[in-house]
Structure 1
Amino acid sequence: MGPSSDSISSPLKQRIQGFFFPAMARRPYTTVLGCITCEELDDFGSGKEGWLVDNPNLICALDSHFLALANRSIILILGWAGSDGYKVKIRPSDLSPIKAEYISALEWLVFDEFKVLLVGTSCGYLLIYSSNGDLILKQMIHPGRILKIRVHGSKRDSSHESSFEEVSIAMPGVIARIEASDIQNTLQKWFEESKARFRDPKSDSRDMEDSGNSFEKLAYQVWNVSKYGSCADAAIIGVMPPPLMELQSSERYFCAVTVGKDAVISAFRLSEDKSRSLVGAILSKVVPATFSTIASFSKMIWQSEPKTSKKPDPKGQDFARASPLTCLKDHPRKGEKLTLSPSGTLAAVTDSLGRILLLDTQALVVVRLWKGYRDANCLFMEMLINRDTASSSSNSIEYEPAKNDYCLCLAIHAPRKGIVEIWQMRTGGRLRTIRCATGSKLLQPSSRFGSSIATPYIPLEVLLLNGDSGQISVLNRIL
């Protein structure tokens, strides 16, 4: 008789099982892509167990090649993929010590020609930095803490006449929107001026003096969405049709979804105009003309005041019109985090009692529910499910999967369970369960703007950062 199974060593047993039963060999669910371990991480508490997830002030933003981390008053940019140990440390020098201002939000903004880092502060300022750490723009959005900066947009293709690309900023009870094209024009101007200063160093001082007067601020819209209480997170999900009996115009309407402690989910219709009523439209035309006439008449009598060189103080921008659509109240549950799908048609909402709601943002109804996921984090991703069908339908040996070959899924990180689950949308089952370390965090590269249909399709990926080991792994998208 041969040796018993107990007498065979474990490594030898695994080789025997893998040889005789190849179908039973375990398939890896993640692939290690890089490591971020370095001395610069000591400022963020690296070396302590759970440093990445236990610090509420530690914020992460991932790009396809760079990882940005912020801890109140310091930002570190690390190259983790093909950047040869690239490191940049940023310390914003104009954070207000009187108001104890700190960094509260972080996100990458990537165009085809350049990429920048968007930084939000607790006093409502938006800062834009280059990947080299140069401050490009500082602008007040609204007094208050910036909770989240989102980069969202639909890819340009033949089915859409125009692309929908924007940056939205969520604050307690307030949401703001900036057109991506406006940011792109501002960045293009800044980079051109930087190249000119590099070619002509003598003009550096003159350009720096003129930049404060000539450099334009970003145009944006801001809305008050606090009708159902202060929100913990908010997002603009897309363009929606105007309401009935509304004065017709070329202005667009947007739909915003908020989550908070008073209403788990609420939705608003956002107008680009300050007022779209008939009376408001008349007043917007009559009042400025009347005031201009009165002012001109008074100048003729009292003469004009002498001009002063002092710049006027920047005024806060008025709120545009926000109309409530619906809300879901389920006390004592409180909405905590909101995650949008790439098209914006689905949103995953986590609450304070371990529930995850899948919201259809077009119909504004909850279509799915998960329970038992306290402190969960959710990210949408795409899994390759039609690999065999796609390969057989193509005569090319190296077939590049198209968008239709992928299915939309939701990756749920349950830190208390130490697992990541992948569920197929909208009604599919659980496709995979992945074990992960305690100090891990789910991350996703930011969307790239400006790409056209001619470029190869890049599926939505989800990466797992292990803070204790420093390894970054990608969740494999092949079933």
Structure 2
Amino acid sequence: MATRSHTTEFGSIACDDLTELGSVKEGWLSDNPHILTAFDTHSLALANRSLVLILDLSHGTDPASLRVKIRPTLSPIEAEYVSAIEWLVFDDFRVIALGTSCGYLLIYSLQGDLIHKQIVYPARILRLRVHGTKKVITLDTLSEEICVAMPGLIARFDGSEIQSMLQRWFQETSSQFWDQKRDADDCGSSHGRLPYQLWNVNKYGSCADAAITGIMPPPLMEQQSSQRYYCAVTIGDDAAISAFRLSEDHGRSLVGAILSKVVPATFSTIASFSKMIWRSEQKSTKKREAKPQPFARASPLMCLKDYPRKGEKLTLSPSGTLAAITDSLGRILLLDTRALVVVRLWKGYREANCLFMEMLVNKDTATSSSNYYEHVKSDYCLCLAIHAPRKGIIEVWQMRTGPRLLVIPCTRGSKILQPTYRFGSSSMSASSYVPLEVFLLNGDSGQFSVLNRSLN
């Protein structure tokens, strides 16, 4: 009896360029914490501390001609290195975003040109996460952002601002002659500084990862406020899970409104009085350094402290309503990000990795197998893929409280990946819906495969 396979071969990443990333050593992909990966449909980006390698996995093409190497300009004095990587995918173009240990956000084209460079905060960037939230409750808006997670900090870049900047850059680049090249030091600064919000979320200790889960209603005292509020979930050593309400403004609250009127008037009076006593000294000709971005207001909502439990990894569902969190006790917690309660718990999964996916479950086989039938979003069921490297398996569980659907064996040195969020994907019609898939990459053999959507 033939063994049923639940994966389909997708391609291979085997090439000589992988030796610069340490592929000659067994388990290089899964065991080395400095090897970072980002996947987008047919392109894979791999990075170590100082090198980014982009591979095209399209069928029927020559992989030797579709490799791009990017060597970011990093500070040797501060021992700066690449600490995060993610794709930014729009309708007309794709770029690579890098985060560094010194807090810089770098955006590169697929030709290796530096498009934008900006300091977020002088701290190590832990994670770059692209996420989009559809219409929420009474808010008839779409929120798409890049969330930057740092120890105790969260930053948010609006997707539309980045798209506008990239459009200007590509238009300017296409209008230049082929032999005109811009100075590398000027790249990323000609289109201005990207606006963003920054929040301090270290009330319960420094975080190991953080994510903005979506838009949430304002507090009861600020129902008439026109500004947006976001919900953020953080994990860390001191607090396994914590949640915050993030405000766009720096002090828009009932108390803050009062202080905003009183404090400036008081400060102005003190400053005027001090000038009468102390004369200002001669002005310095030294150029002022850029001041750090001021923090916006973050209000704590919940905190789960359960020593010695420590939060390790955080994964969001496509809608942001669920979060899978792995901890140091080998457990996986499923968090409802709206109610902020843990709704499910798995035990015995040390060093696990989780990704959400969508599968065809309990569908009519005859209808599903028809060549004329196109699956729509309602045909798919949300599931959670759990990669347990110590067990050498991948389990697929139906959400939220469904059974285990699949157990897929995998070899050591494997890693599960997922295509990044595509900006504007929520506007797609139901008939053209593309389900969320999970891919399996074997670093030792280079084989790339996709988990099948159907159980049959």
Q: Report the Cα distance in structure 1 between the residues aligned to 2:301 and 2:438, rounded to whole angstroms.
A: 32
The answer to whether the aligner puts 1:407 opposite 2:381 as a matched pair is yes
Q: 1:68 to 1:408 in 2, by over 3 A?
A: same
User: Are 2:209 and 1:233 equivalent residues in the alignment?
Assistant: yes
| Residues 156 and 114 (structure 1), Cα distance of their counterparts in 2 relative to 1, 3 Å cut | farther
Could you tell me how far apart the structure 1 residues matched to 2:216 and 2:240 are? 22
State the partner residue of 2:45: 68
Partner in structure 2 of residue 37 of structure 1: 14
CA-CA distance at 1:277 after TM superposition? 2.7
RMSD over equivalenced CA pairs, Å: 2.8
Q: Residue 390 of structure 2 corresponds to which residue in structure 1?
A: 416
Q: Secondary structure, in 3 states, of the residue corresponding to 2:168?
A: helix
- Return the letter of the residue paired with 2:380: Y
> 1: CA distance between counterparts of 2:201 and 2:153?
5
1:54 to 20, 28, 31: 31
Q: Following TM superposition, by how much is the alpha carbon of 1:284 offset from its aligned partner in structure 2, in angstroms?
A: 4.0
One of 11, 26, 37 as aligned partner of 2:3: 26
Displacement after TM superposition at 1:147 (Å): 0.6
Residue aligned with 2:364, SS: helix
Q: Is the 8 A contact 1:386 1:405 kept in 2?
A: no
Q: Number of residues paired by the alignment?
A: 443
In structure 1, distance between residues paired with 2:4 and 2:134: 33
Residue pairs, 1:114-263, within 5 angstroms: 114-154=93-133, 161-198=140-177, 201=179, 204=181, 214-246=190-222, 248-263=224-239
The 1:210–1:49 alpha-carbon spacing in structure 2 relative to 1, beyond 3 Å, is closer
**Residue in 2 that maps onto 1:89:** 69
Per-residue CA shift, 1:263-301, capped at 9, x if unaligned? 111111111111123453355467669989989xx9xxx
Gaps of 5+ in 2: none
Q: Secondary structure at the match of 1:168?
A: strand
Q: What is the TM-score normalised by the length of structure 1?
A: 0.86
Identity of aligned residues (%): 67
Distance 1:229 1:334 in 2: 11
- Paired residue type of 1:179: D
Q: How far off is 1:445 after superposition? A: 0.7
Q: Which runs of 5+ in 1 are unaligned?
A: 1-16, 18-24
1:171–1:209 CA distance, 2 compared to 1 (3 A): closer
Equivalent residues of 1:384, 1:405 under 8 A apart: yes
Q: 1:246 to 1:68 in 2, by over 3 A?
A: same
- For 1:408 and 1:432, locate their aligned partners in 2 and report how far apart those are by CA, in whole Å: 14
From the CA coordinates, give the structure whose radius of gyration is larger: 1
SS of equivalent to 2:198: strand
Corresponding letter in the other structure for 2:27? G
Q: TM-score, normalised by structure 2?
A: 0.90
One-letter code of the match for 2:404? Answer: R
Q: Distance in 2 between matches of 1:284 and 1:208?
A: 43
Q: Which residue of 2 aligns with 1:325?
A: 301
Instruction: For 2:264 and 2:164, locate their aligned partners in 1 and report how far apart those are by CA, in whole Å.
Output: 30
Q: CA deviation at 1:387?
A: 3.9
Indicate the SS of the match to 2:222.
Answer: coil
2:314 to 313, 338, 345: 338
Deviation at 1:208, TM superposition (A): 8.0
Q: Are the counterparts in 2 of residues 390 and 405 from structure 1 also a CA contact under 8 Å?
A: no
Match of 2:251 in 1: 275
Q: What SS does structure 2 have at the residue aligned with 1:422?
A: strand
Stretch of structure 1 that moved more, 372-381 or 49-58: 49-58
Describe the superposition over 1:245-264 as per-residue Cα deviations: whole angstroms up to 9, x where unpaired.
Answer: 23742111111001111111
Displacement after TM superposition at 1:315 (Å): 1.1
Answer 1 or 2: which has greater helix percent: 1
Q: Aligned to 2:428, which of 429, 433, 453?
A: 453
1:212–1:168 CA distance, 2 compared to 1 (3 A): closer
Residue of structure 2 equivalent to 1:368: 344
Q: Does 1:313 align with 2:292?
A: no
Residue deviations 1:379-424 (CA, integer Å, cap 9, x gap): 00000125427938x9x85211000000000000000000000000
Contact persistence 1:171–1:231 (CA under 8 A): yes
Name the CA shift for 1:389/1:466 in 2 (closer, same or farther; >3 Å). Answer: closer
Match of 2:87 in 1: 108
Residue of structure 1 equivalent to 2:360 = 384
